[in-house]
Amino acid sequence: MPDLNKQFETAQADVKKLSKRPDNEDMLRLYAHYKQATAGDVSGERPGAFSVVDRAKYDAWARLKGTDSPKAMEDYVKLVERLKKSYG
């Protein structure tokens, strides 16, 4: 697990170094996997329809419900590696 934690931390730093901002879908995936890895399953009420961004983030995170932290970390690292190839 320590190796995975290190990879996760490195991926968090790497995503901030991308030359271009990923598209909205990739940003939601990053957010959801990060939150699932660090906070576990989504909690609280789903934001209302007028909170479009918050609602999209909540829904993306909710789709990962039941995913354990190591799996979410692993998926986050893989996503960042893919984004590095696409967005430098």
Domain ranges for the chain, please list them.
2-87
- Cα separation, 29 vs 22, in Å, equals 10
14: CB partners within 8 A, 6+ apart:
80, 84
User: Mean pLDDT for each consecutive 10-residue tract of the chain (88 residues)?
Assistant: 90 96 97 98 96 98 98 98 92
Residue 24's pLDDT is 97
Q: pTM of the full predicted structure?
A: 0.93
CATH assignment of 2-87?
A: 1.20.80.10
